Amino acid sequence: MLPVRRPDPAPSRWIYRLERLWLTPIVRYSVQVGLPVLVLGWMGYLVLSDKGVQDTLRAKAMNVRASIAAHPSMMVTEIKLMDVSPAMKAKVADRIGFDLPISSMDLDLGALHERITEIEAIAAARIRLPGNGVMEITVTERVPQFVWRHADGLELVDAEGFHVGPVGARSDRPDLPVLIGEGADHAAPEARALLDMASPIVDRVRALQRVGARRWTIALVDGPRIHLPEEGAAAALARVMALHEADDILDRAVSVVDMRDGRRPILRVTPDALYQVRRARGLIKEDDA
């Protein structure tokens, strides 16, 4: 029986160390999980960073998207404008900015909404896609409250000072009070408040004039002009109304009621009345006597 040469069963030192390293949990995990992830990630990066692959992928994605967008149930074929006055209709239709039919996937409703609300005469708009290829646009128009006369002509203004639209002549809207002067439109809320306060004389108010874009003067049809201060205009007007109620101050021969001095109202009597007063007091000799 010849002795058989068997290989040494003992692991070499390096194999032994490798084996021990392999049994270390962190090494094992990083090789079994980390390495494949790393390799896959690297390969994916290599493939995706290629320009041609990127273009192909993008084209494919666009194709898929187009095929979905072209589906009949996604198409918008009709636009319904709800609660829109005929004059506004043209304006809104002007702002739609795309041709029908269009796929609802291509629609940018946010931008459309913005475009419609850009029209100053529109307070709010609501866009809905209820289905069946219909797009409903519901618009809340601003209600004109004033006629604003400025250097270039007449314009309608709502209660908050937004411009609603031009108007040809004052007589087109006789129901609305008139604001005059630069900056009067922006002060429209204050004007509204003043008018509400002046309700007993509201039908005598011809116009509210903004002076120097800072204070109001109320012009009456047959009476004095009321100069209101910059600050506390409403309180000053209330004082005037009290005076009027007590002494009918606005029915007398006064050309100006000046409330700008906060301490006291200053009245400017009409020249005719002044003359009469002076004559009555004997300060003036009779000319024709």
Partner 1 sequence: MSYLFEAQRAMRSRREAALRRGVVAVLDIGTSKISCLVLQFAPGREAEDSAPKRSLTHGAFRVIGAATTRSRGVRAGEIAAMDETERAIRTAVQAAQKMADVRVDYVIAGFGGGLPRSYGLSGDIRVEDGEVAEPDIGHVLASCTVPDYGADREALHALPVNFTLDGRTGLNDPRGQIGARLSVDMHLLTVDAAPVHNLLHCIRRCDLELAGLTVSSYASGIAALVEDEQELGAACIDIGGGTSGISIFAKRHMIYADAVPLGGHHLTSDICQGLHVSMSVAERIKTLHGGVMATGVDDRDLIEIPAPREGMEDRRQVTRSELIGVMRPRMEEIFEEIRDRLDASGFECLPGQRVVLTGGSAQVPGLETLAQRILGRQVRVGKPLRVQGLPQAATGPGFAAAVGLALYASAPQDECWDFEMPSDRVGARRVRRALRWFRENW
Contact of 133 with 78, CB cutoff 8 Å: yes
Q: Three-state SS for 78?
A: strand
For position 2 contacting partner 1 by CB under 8 A, the verdict is: yes
For position 26 contacting partner 1 by CB under 8 A, the verdict is: no
For position 19 contacting partner 1 by CB under 8 A, the verdict is: yes
Nearer to partner 1, 10 or 280 (CB): 10
For position 4 contacting partner 1 by CB under 8 A, the verdict is: no
Tell me, rounded to whole angstroms, the distance of Cα 13 from its chain centroid. Answer: 80
Shortest separation between residue 7's beta carbon and partner 1, angstroms: 12
Q: Which of 6, 13, 264, 285 binds partner 1 (CB under 8 A)?
A: 13
Greatest Cα-to-Cα distance within the chain, rounded to the nearest angstrom: 175
Nearer to partner 1, 31 or 100 (CB): 31
| Gap between the Cα atoms of 199 and 65, Å rounded | 63
Residues touching partner 1, count (CB under 8 A) = 13
Q: Three-state SS for 248?
A: coil
Q: Which of 5, 8, 52, 131 binds partner 1 (CB under 8 A)?
A: 8
Nearer to partner 1, 1 or 90 (CB): 1
- Which run of H or of E encompasses 48? helix 35-48
| Gap between the Cα atoms of 286 and 199, Å rounded | 43
Nearer to partner 1, 9 or 130 (CB): 9
| Gap between the Cα atoms of 5 and 26, Å rounded | 39
Shortest separation between residue 26's beta carbon and partner 1, angstroms: 11
For position 280 contacting partner 1 by CB under 8 A, the verdict is: no
For position 7 contacting partner 1 by CB under 8 A, the verdict is: no
Q: Which of 11, 44, 262, 271 binds partner 1 (CB under 8 A)?
A: 11
Shortest separation between residue 58's beta carbon and partner 1, angstroms: 48
Nearer to partner 1, 19 or 272 (CB): 19
For position 32 contacting partner 1 by CB under 8 A, the verdict is: no
For the beta sheet containing 153-158, the strands, ordered from the edge strand earlier in sequence to the opposite edge, are: 163-166, 153-158, 144-150, 178-180, 205-211, 215-220, 225-227, 254-258, 266-269
For position 60 contacting partner 1 by CB under 8 A, the verdict is: no
Shortest separation between residue 35's beta carbon and partner 1, angstroms: 19
> Which region among 3-11, 100-108, 118-126, 191-199 touches partner 1 (by CB under 8 A)?
3-11
Strands (E), the chain: 75-76, 78-82, 102-103, 122-131, 134-141, 144-150, 153-158, 163-166, 178-180, 205-211, 215-220, 225-227, 254-258, 266-269
For position 23 contacting partner 1 by CB under 8 A, the verdict is: yes
| Gap between the Cα atoms of 209 and 183, Å rounded | 10
Nearer to partner 1, 21 or 134 (CB): 21
Tokens (6 digits) for 279:
């004559």
Nearer to partner 1, 6 or 281 (CB): 6
List of residues contacting partner 1 (CB under 8 A) = 1-2, 8-11, 13, 16-17, 19-20, 23-24
